[in-house]
Amino acid sequence: MAMSGGIDSSVAAILLMEQGYELVGATFRTFDSISTACMEREKGCCNVDSIFEAKQMAKNLGFEHHVLDLRQEFKETVIANFIDEYLHGRTPNPCVICNSVIKWGRMIEVANQLNCDYIATGHYARISFENSRYFLKKGIDTRKDQTYFLWSLTQENLARTLFPLGSLTKTEVRKIAAEHGYDKLSHKSESQEICFVTNNDYRSFLVDNVPNYAENYPQGDYVDTSGKPLGKHKGFPNYTIGQRKGLGIALGEPMFVVAIKPDTNQVVLGKKAELQADFLTATKINLMKYGNLPNNLEATVRIRYRNNGIPATIVEDNGKLLISFLSPADSITPGQSVVIYENDDVVGGGIIE
C-alpha cells in the first residue's frame, strides 16, 4: 500500500483491510527541498511530516510500514527530466514521469521483495480488463479523476494494481475517514503544487538547481510570428506556451507566448487566435485499451489535466501518434501529455512534440 500520509491513501488502506487484504505499507522519501528564494523546507506529499503521518496510520491500522529512500533516483529521473525539458523550451509533466519510474517502477520491485501480490494507491481511477488487455477508466468523481497522469502505466503495472477509491467521490472518502474516527484527516486540505517546487515557482527552482543559470540562459528577443523583434525577455526557460501574464512588455493588446525557440533564444508572441492548431504529434506512446490502434480512430483527446477533451482522429505511425482535431485546440504545449479517451476508457497517451 503506497502511503503518502494524506486522506486518500489512508482511506484506501482502510477499505482494503475491510475487504480482507493483508497490507504492507510503503512511503517514498523522494527529495530534500530548500529554496533560496524563501527558505521554506519540504512541502508536498513526500516530506518528513507526511512520512511520519503515514507510519502512524499504518501503526493505527495494524500493519507493517517501510520508508524507502529514493532521493537519488528521483533526482536522476523526475527532477532531471523536469529541468532538461524547460532548458529545451518545453513544459514537463513530472507527475507522469514519477508515476511510471518511481511510484510504479520501484513499487513493483518493492512488492516483489516483500512478497506482495498487488500494489495499491489512493488515485481516483478504475481498471478494466477486456480482450486480454488491461486499461484505465476514469474515476467516478470526474472532478478528481487522475487518469490523465497515469496513461504511461504498462500492462504489467495495471495487472498488479488496485485503486480502492476509483468508484468513490471525494466527499464519500472524507465521510469514510470521519466515520473511522479520523476527523482531522477528513478535513485535511490538498496541495495542487508540484511536490518538489516551493510555492509552485519553477523559475526559482531552475535558478537554484541549474549551475550558472543566468549566464547560460540570458535575455533574448521577443518576436512576433513574422520574426519582427518586439522587446526583450528574461531567458526562454522562464516561459510556457499560452502564457500571457508576467511577460513584462506592453504591446497595446493582449499577447501570448505561442512558441519558444531555444536555438535562437527567442520567445514568439502572438494573438489568442495564433495559439490555435488542428494537429499535433506525440511520441513515447503507451497504448492501453488496444494493442494496436484501430484505423483512423475517432476519440476524445485531452492535452492538459484541466481539459474536457477535444474530438479528434488518431493515427499511429512508426511509434508516433498523429492527432487531427475536429475543432482547433488551444495552447498545444510540447512536453505535456496527450491522453486519448473513448468515453471513460483510456486508450493510451504520449508526450507532445
Residue written as cell 512520512?
Answer: 51
Compute the C-alpha angle 325/329/334, nearest 5°.
Answer: 100
Same domain, 24 and 114: yes
Classify residue 131: in a domain, yes or no: no
Distance CA 311, CA 326 (A): 6
Task: Specify whether the backbone of 248 is left (phi greater than 0), alpha (psi in -120 to 50) or beta.
Answer: left
- Let me know whether 194 and 229 are in one domain: no
- Full residue range of the structural domain in which residue 348 is found: 275-352
Q: Does residue 294 form part of some domain?
A: yes
Residues 75, 191 within the same domain: yes
d(C-alpha 21, C-alpha 4), whole Å: 19
In terms of domains, do 75 and 174 share one? Answer: yes
Q: How far is CA 99 from CA 131, 213, 219, 303, 326, in A?
A: 25, 28, 35, 18, 31
Q: Are residues 286 and 332 in the same domain?
A: yes
For residue 36, the model assigns a pLDDT of: 34
CB-based contacts of 192: which residues, under 8 Å, 6+ apart? none
Beta-carbon contacts of 181 under 8 Å, excluding residues fewer than 6 positions away, are none
* Tens digits of pLDDT across the chain (353 residues): 999 999 999 999 999 999 999 999 999 998 875 433 333 333 445 567 889 999 999 999 999 999 999 999 999 999 999 999 999 999 999 999 999 999 999 889 999 999 999 999 999 999 999 999 999 999 999 999 999 999 999 999 999 999 999 999 999 999 999 999 999 999 887 766 788 998 889 999 999 999 999 999 999 999 999 999 999 999 999 999 999 999 999 999 999 999 999 999 999 999 999 999 999 999 999 999 999 999 989 999 999 998 889 999 999 999 999 999 999 999 999 999 999 999 999 999 999 99
pLDDT of residue 46: 58
Asked if residue 284 and residue 265 are part of one domain, the reply reads no
Whether 145 is in a domain gets the answer no
| Percentage helix, strand, coil for the chain under 3-state DSSP, each rounded to 5 | 30, 30, 40
Is there a single domain that holds both residue 247 and residue 298? no
Alpha helices in the chain (DSSP H): 7-18, 48-61, 71-74, 80-86, 94-97, 105-113, 155-159, 170-179, 183-186, 202-209, 213-216
Q: What is the CATH number of the domain that holds 226?
A: 2.30.30.280
CATH at 333? 2.40.30.10
User: Is residue 336 included in any domain, yes or no?
Assistant: yes
Number of domains in the chain: 3
Note the pLDDT of residue 191: 67
Residue 44 sits in the same domain as residue 180? yes
| Cα atoms in the Cβ-side hemisphere of radius 13 Å centred on 167 | 5
Tell me: do 229 and 338 sit in the same domain: no
- Residue 293 to residue 347: CA distance in whole angstroms: 8
Backbone angles phi, psi at 155, to 5 degrees: -60, -40
CATH code for the domain in which residue 195 is found:
3.40.50.620
Q: Are residues 341 and 234 in the same domain?
A: no
Question: Looking at the domain assignment, is residue 133 inside a domain?
Answer: no
Determine the Cα–Cα distance for residues 236 and 210; give it in Å rounded to an integer. Answer: 14
Give a yes or no: residue 1 inside a domain.
no
- Tell me which residues are annotated as active site: 98, 195
pLDDT at site 198? 83
- pLDDT for 45 equals 55
| Shared-domain flag, residues 255 and 280 | no
In a domain, 135, yes or no: no
Backbone angles phi, psi at 57, to 5 degrees: -65, -45
Q: Do the Cβ atoms of 335 and 92 come closer than 8 Å?
A: yes
pLDDT at 66: 95
pLDDT at residue number 192: 67
- Evaluate whether residue 321 is within a structural domain: yes
Q: Are residues 179 and 324 in the same domain?
A: no
